[in-house]
Amino acid sequence: MDLSNRTVIVVGGGSGIGLGIARAALARGARIVLGGRSREKLDRALEALEAGERGRSVAVDITQEADVVRLFESVPEVDHIAVTAATLAYQPIREFDLEAARRAVRSKLLGALLIAKHGGARLRPGGSITFTTGVATDRPLPRGSMVGAVNGAIDCFIRGAAIELAPIRVNALSPGWVDTELWDVIGADKASRFSGMAQRLPVGRIGTPDDLGHAAIFLMTNGFTTGTVLHVDGGHRFV
Ligand SMILES: NC(=O)c1ccc[n+]([C@@H]2O[C@H](COP(=O)([O-])OP(=O)(O)OC[C@H]3O[C@@H](n4cnc5c(N)ncnc54)[C@H](OP(=O)(O)O)[C@@H]3O)[C@@H](O)[C@H]2O)c1
């Protein structure tokens, strides 16, 4: 699981699971490039990682093709790409705001297409792309129809991409509930919902960004794994 002298781009690396992936890649010797929309968030993340000369960032909105092109132009030699970026919405189907649904599709699914389209050609031999799906595909929550839909689309997208971009390997991580900023929207309910879920899960706890970082390194470095969804969910699919 060594990444010395490798360059890893993490789109979504400014927070949460992406930050966990960046931390894991740094710990294994990689140079990292964080991508995300908020320059401030990226600066904070680089500082927290203490990445020094092995870390830099590029402001990129994954829904904008020109941004994605610019990202890869600014990082000419890439070994691995991980993508956690998404702007998803939980809403009841009967009241779903179409613009919020479009944002979900544009960021998670079409964003993945843009990364594969422009990043695939840039990767050095042995390279890989890791996208992010999620447990909502298998265990939908009320109001989560579009979250499950875009995650499920990623499950399918990586299979086609793994065939078409070969020998570049293309996989996806499927997180269960992971303690990140994504959950801040539920405010004070977060602690009680997390402890309820932790009691149900076979592993007895909620996931951490580092759990997902560890799994992402496996997908980057295992040369025989492609077209695979790696479930890192504490057994959530079975409870
Ligand atoms: N946390 C969980 O429990 C959980 C469970 C299942 C699946 N997931 C999936 O895991 C992924 C990461 O989630 P997380 O928990 O790490 O959330 P997070 O902390 O909110 O991270 C998402 C990152 O993506 C960036 N981003 C969002 N939209 C973007 C865009 N259009 N272009 C570029 N960057 C963008 C955000 O930064 P900016 O806002 O600065 O762009 C942010 O740093 C998501 O795809 C989510 O669906 C998470």
- The answer to whether position 238 is within a domain reads no
Task: Check residue 22 and give its pLDDT.
Answer: 98
**Average pLDDT for residues 203-208, to the nearest whole number?**
98
CB 174 within 8 A of CB 232: yes
Say how many Å lie between the CA of residue 17 and the centre of ligand 1: 7
Query: Distance of CA 114 to CAs 69, 72, 107, 206, Å?
Result: 9, 11, 10, 31
CB 82 within 8 A of CB 216: yes
- The answer to whether position 89 is within a domain reads yes
Decide which of 67 and 141 is more confident.
67
The string of DSSP letters for 138-196 reads TSPPTT-HHHHHHHHHHHHHHHHHHHHSTTSEEEEEEE-SB-SGGGGGGTTHHHHHHHH
The span from the CA of 24 to the CA of 217, in Å, is 7
- By residue range, what is the domain housing residue 208? 7-229
- The answer to whether position 179 is within a domain reads yes
Say how many Å lie between the CA of residue 147 and the centre of ligand 1: 12
Q: Which residue has the tokens 């422009």?
A: 118
The type of residue at 49 is L
The total number of structural domains in the chain stands at 1
Residue 167: asked if its preceding bond is cis (omega within 30°), the reply is yes
The CATH number linked to 64 is 3.40.50.720
- The answer to whether position 237 is within a domain reads no
- The answer to whether position 239 is within a domain reads no
Closest CA to 4 of 37, 34, 33, 27: 27
**Sign of the dihedral through C-alpha 91, 95, 100, 104:** positive
Position 87 pLDDT exceeds 90: yes
Q: Taking CB atoms and a 6 Å cutoff, what residues make up the pocket around ligand 1?
A: 11-12, 14-18, 36-38, 41, 60-63, 84-88, 107, 132, 134-135, 175, 177-178, 180-182
Q: For ligand 1, pick from 49, 84, 194 the residue to mutate: most ligand atoms within 8 Å of CB.
A: 84
Position 185 pLDDT exceeds 90: no
Say how many Å lie between the CA of residue 211 and the centre of ligand 1: 16
- The answer to whether position 37 is within a domain reads yes
Task: Check residue 56 and give its pLDDT.
Answer: 97
- The answer to whether position 235 is within a domain reads no
Question: For 232, phi and psi rounded to 5 degrees?
Answer: -125, 75
Task: Check residue 184 and give its pLDDT.
Answer: 86
Q: Which residue has the tokens 């020998």?
A: 167
- The answer to whether position 2 is within a domain reads no
